[in-house]
Amino acid sequence: MRLTPCTRYSLVRALSTILLTVGVMLSSLSNAQLSEIRDIEDSVIKIYTTQAAPDYFTPWRLLTPRQSSGSGAVIIGNRILTNAHVVANASYVQAQKHNDPRRYQARVTFVSHEADLALITVDEPGFFSDLKALTIGDLPEPLQEVSVYGYPIGGKTLSITKGILSRVEQQVYAHAGAYLLAGQIDAAINPGNSGGPVIVDQQIVGVVMQANAGGRAENLGYFVPPSVVRHVLQDSEDGELDGFPDLGFRTQTLDSPSAKLAYGLEKDQNGVLVIKVFPDSPADGVLQENDVILKIDDYEVADDGTIELTEDLLTDYKHAIDMHHIGDTLEITYSRDGRERTVDLYAEKALQNYSLVRGERFDEIPQYYIYGGVLFVPLNMNLIKRWGNDWSRSAPVSLLQARNEWSSPDRRELVVALQVLAADVNLGYHDWRNWVVEYVNGVPIRDFQHFANMLAENEAENIVFENKNGYQMVINHTDALASEEAILSQYRIPSSHSVNLFESE
């Protein structure tokens, strides 16, 4: 078929019009996308901190202050959402906007070290006036593409990387050791990215956090998911940290058919075995050891301890408890001796110690007591981690083993004779260190406060410190008091005990 010149001209003109229209549409779409990206970029803040953590080997001192940086995102209420570890033990915090060389003084308004999340703000008038507050979205689908915004090491400008959501499951958070839901992505996340937002459709679907593998650069990262972020934001509304609730029981899996039969389960029943119920907890007096937890609210608990959040997502049953707030009611279905029962438990704050070794804390003054030139401290993870990044191998075995022991009302905390400040009063013990003390003059030690009170109120001639194997350290009480001032002066120690030790009395 032959086209006349007139027809060819009409077709070319029509095609040109179509191409021009498509070009305008693509240009418009591209400009819209660029505008959206710029809005997000302006909402991502670089955070500078000066951190001075206490030295748990010499608890009256601070470690050398260090400077670090992280990232954050502006959210509703003139707040910046970031990681807790970015501002932990911070003595000075600054915030810097995208493409703005000025650093503004910032202050921390709320911290959840458990969830590795913190809120900071800037009081400078007008700081937030040109910034768009980002909203919290929903957890992405598996294999969905996400964008990670932040200020990683190696440069001063904002970095944007892309990756896919590869896994969502309960993880041990690197910052404070809590066991919470976390997402994993294959985007490059490096030091400095911490606290930056994970974005899908202009919404925050996660907050980048420390990887368990450490601080080295790698093409793998973890983020705090939206459910945990929302929990912390709701917790922050009254300015008081409640944290995540704990019902006060511990379980083990029931994968063994013999074990299921032994505890009265039918073949089609699944659950986890209660192995410990803590005194003074919500479960105390309700659940018993050897009960089997079958359901938590509407979530059925599998033999391996998982629940089904969605068709594609299984995670530890602890998540069903974590998402409640203090004061909420949870429905627990359990089996005892083959009989199924249902009970309501109230979500309460977690007890201070479930293990004899308290978890790592931040923004706190360490406790200590010096008596007869001997430095006594409570055993906690802050002290254990003072042995360095390889603490699980380099810390004393006796201290590490205590992590596996449950606490009780009669034995809530261990006391360690950390070192001996050599003096006449403690001759014969100068090389004793890292020694767990169980008794004072035959009285079992309940916790560090109880220990300090026994020393302060002592009227006996001698004080005998004893460990569980019977080894003893004897200090004359009169000599201990008489030598105190000289020992403190000789070793340049400001006080014989931490300033907060007797505040609760």
The three state secondary structure string of 237-256 is HHCCCCCCEECCEEEECCCC
Distance of CA 217 to the CA centre of its chain: 21
What Å distances lie between residue 193 and 44, 80, 138, 152, 485, CA to CA? 11, 15, 21, 5, 48
Active site residue 85: yes
What Å distances lie between residue 294 and 209, 258, 272, 406, 412, CA to CA? 33, 17, 7, 24, 30
What Å distances lie between residue 378 and 105, 274, 335, 399, 492, CA to CA? 35, 29, 39, 11, 22
Write down the catalytic residue from 43, 69, 85, 231.
85
Active site residue 194: yes
Write down the catalytic residue from 147, 159, 194, 281.
194
Tell me the one-letter amino acid at 285: G
- Answer yes or no: are the C-beta atoms of 93 and 195 closer than 8 Å: no
What Å distances lie between residue 222 and 1, 168, 173, 214, 234, CA to CA? 63, 9, 9, 11, 22
Count, residues in the chain: 505
Write down the catalytic residue from 43, 112, 113, 116.
116
Give the span between the Cα atoms of 416 and 132, in whole angstroms: 51
122 strand-pairing partners: 106
Give the span between the Cα atoms of 306 and 259, in whole angstroms: 18
Report the catalytic residues.
85, 116, 194
